[in-house]
A and B are shown apart, each in its own frame.
Chain A
């Protein structure tokens, strides 16, 4: 099915190609774990297929009982975005907790001690 590609498809494929190369390079240099690299490579490949052959999305949507390919894309985008928000939120919570630990350690390390004795320290026979 060699067909003529429109301008949008050419540009997008070029970008996806660059992303795929970068991902593979990053994987080879161990900047990302093998699993992360494979997952991202698959994402770029699937996107490439969908760009070259848009009808494929419609076929998958039909299998899932969703009318149109565009609807499937929107649903997927929403799910991915929700997961993204969730992951960022969880990370934010961890970050806040780490920040508290750091602030706490600083506070304890730099504690100010008041050497001027209070009444409760000078009175020997103190009884409340």
Chain B
């Protein structure tokens, strides 16, 4: 961490830190889950890893590093895994819930800024935005794809966001109780935005930094994958 980055980190009140549950959904992330979970846990005690039926030993590695490890015996998709983590957190008395990607593209240092508007009571949900913040080493194809996603969100979800599909999100308990992800696979990001709009819960975008590495890029969405997500989302809306 650079000195510059250190200065930006906002303090988190101890009670907020204690009552925050960080939910990490992991599917075959054996290479990254341990450092990610350890890094988060060094700052926030309640780290919940939901292993979504991985076949590569993610479960054992996660058990060494996270405080709570849940396992989907059958792979159900990222949306389902996040909802599982959220429900677990709610049942364990969480007052704040934050979702964090397992591939190491998010920075733990961004968490305090994500939480601050919520514990100050300014809004119920914060969504990380790499375009308000910094996207390090973002390839141009990925940037354009994400711009398309923003446009899609603007038209279909009728919400104006700068970054529609960022895995870093924070919820108050009230927001987490209101929202329920039913789209099991990747279309949950769009579904979530729909639910936020319908619920009328106040939300805010917070600038965050995304680290694009060879690993996280390989784990991210290709253009074809993005089309598949749009298809899943539309099917999900039709057959609700």
State the A residues within 8 Å of B (CB).
89-90, 93, 96-97, 99-100, 103-104, 106-108, 110-114, 117-121, 126-128
B131 at the interface (CB under 8 A from A): no
- List chain B residues, Cβ under 8 A from A97: 182, 184
Contact A104 B42 (CB under 8 A): no
- Contact of A120 with B41 in the complex, beta carbons under 8 Å: yes
Q: Cα distance A93–B76 when bound, in Å?
A: 13
- Are the CB atoms of B67 and A113 closer together than 8 Å? yes
Q: Which of B9, B68, B73 is the one whose CB lies under 8 Å from A128?
A: B9
Alpha-carbon distance between A110 and B12 when the two chains are bound, in angstroms:
31
Interface of B toward A, CB cutoff 8 Å: 9, 11-12, 14, 17, 38, 41-45, 47, 50, 63-74, 76, 80, 83-84, 87-88, 91, 112, 182, 184, 239
In the assembled complex, which residues on chain B have CB atoms less than 8 Å from the CB atom of A114? Answer: 63-69
> Is there contact, CB below 8 Å, between A120 and B80?
no
B42 touches A106 (CB 8 A): no
- Which residues does chain B contribute within 8 Å of A120, judged by CB atoms? 17, 41-45
Which B-chain residue is minimally distant from A106 (CB atoms)?
Answer: B73
- B80, closest chain A residue (CB): A100
Most B CB contacts (10 A, CB to CB) among A89, A111, A127 go to: A111
Question: For chain B, what secondary structure do more than half of its interface residues adopt (helix, strand, loop), or is it mixed?
Answer: mixed
Main DSSP-derived SS at the A contact region: helix
Kindly list chain A residues whose C-beta atoms are within 8 Å of the C-beta of B42: 118-120
CA distance A85 to B151 in the complex (A): 33
Taking CB atoms, residues of chain B closer than 8 Å to A127 are: 11
Contacting residue for B68 out of A96, A112, A121, CB 8 A: A112
Chain B residues contacting A117 (CB-CB under 8 Å) are: 45
Q: B184 contacts which of A89, A96, A106, A128 (Cβ < 8 Å)?
A: A96
A sample of 26 cross-chain residue pairs with beta-carbon separation below 8 angstroms, ordered by A number, consists of A90-B239, A103-B73, A103-B76, A104-B72, A104-B83, A104-B84, A107-B71, A107-B72, A107-B84, A108-B84, A111-B69, A111-B70, A112-B68, A112-B69, A112-B71, A114-B64, A114-B66, A118-B38, A118-B45, A120-B42, A120-B44, A127-B11, A128-B9, A128-B12, A128-B43, A128-B112
In the complex, A99 Cα to B43 Cα: how many Å?
35
- Assess whether A110 is in contact with B44, with CB atoms less than 8 Å apart: no
Given contacts A96-B184, A103-B80, A118-B41, contact A128 B72 (CB under 8 A): no
CA distance A121 to B41 in the complex (A): 9
Closest Cβ of chain B: how far from A20's Cβ, in Å?
34
